[in-house]
Amino acid sequence: MHQIRTIIKTENLDNHHAHSFPNICPSCGFEDSGKYCSHCGGLIQDYKICATSLIKSIIEWEDKVMYTTKQLIFEPIVFITSYLNGNRSKSYIPFKYFFFCFGLYLFIYQIFGINNIVNENTNQYLLDNSQSEHIFNSIIGKFGKFLTILFIPFYLLACKIVFRKSAYNNAEIATAITFMLGLLMLIQSVLCLITAAFPPFYILKTWLTIFSELYILYILSLKFFNNSWFHATWKTGLIGVFVMFCIKFSIILIDVLVQMKYGFS
């Protein structure tokens, strides 16, 4: 009995000691005691980065990416709706997920020389009428893929126009679009790998990319915005055309800016 009392007393003293001396929260600078900051909720105990913590963070990151990808493939709208409703502990942040997939796509595109395959299999008719073709071609070749980032605001604008009666706000719509575009970047990465192994596949890759974009828009229209199949179909086409013209206008605008920059008339 005396031993039990001694153990309890020791534990109480340890707890009292742990909570008696406040620490500075590394996240917000608030002085507090205990394991978590009562101001921002951050971890305030002495925490050093070590090999174990790095491995743990990598595994946790990979788990979230894999879980997010799996859910977007098999249950995209259920997953997105659940995320919007606050179930986010297992999910990767939408914009981080998009930029991760986009970065993966750019890496595969560059490392396997997909641009060379494109030039060999397509007629770049958009560049033929440009007086600054040699400069414009260089800019588009290096930075044109980054126009993909403009898809998010363009799709958001189109959805706000077409689905103006939707109960979702801008941030919620942007979240859904970003998740789905992240999945699209992942699909394009896989298609690029196939193209690198079998270059003639490029033509089919182009059509599969277009189909994937339209399918993503259709799923959002049908299940996320709760439209009938008929309304989802024509609204998908309308949004696709709108975004296509926005991207083309962006390319033309870049061309004009290039001509102004380098003095072409």
47 alpha carbon, distance to own chain's centre: 30
With residue 248 as reference, give the H or E element that holds it. helix 229-262
Count CA within 13 A, CB hemisphere, residue 248. Answer: 8
Per-residue pLDDT of the chain (265 residues; tens, 9 = 90+): 444 444 444 444 444 444 445 677 776 777 776 777 777 766 666 556 666 666 666 667 788 899 999 999 999 999 999 999 999 888 999 999 999 998 898 888 888 887 776 666 554 444 444 444 444 445 545 555 566 777 889 999 999 999 988 999 999 999 999 999 999 999 999 999 999 898 888 889 889 988 999 999 999 999 999 999 999 999 999 999 998 888 778 777 777 776 777 665 5
Strands 23-24 and 31-32: antiparallel
Q: What is the pLDDT of residue 24?
A: 75
Using an 8 Å Cβ cutoff, are 227 and 235 in contact? yes
Q: What is the pLDDT of residue 263?
A: 64
By C-alpha distance, which of 199, 185, 198 is closest to 117?
A: 199
Q: Which residues contact 222 (CB under 8 A, 6 or more apart)?
A: 228, 229, 232
Whole-prediction pTM value? 0.73
Q: What is the pLDDT of residue 46?
A: 56
Cα distances (Å, whole numbers) of residue 80 to 66, 112, 119: 15, 33, 37
Q: Which residues contact 231 (CB under 8 A, 6 or more apart)?
A: 221
Measured at the alpha carbon of residue 103, what is the angle toward residues 66 and 141, in degrees to the nearest 5?
Answer: 150
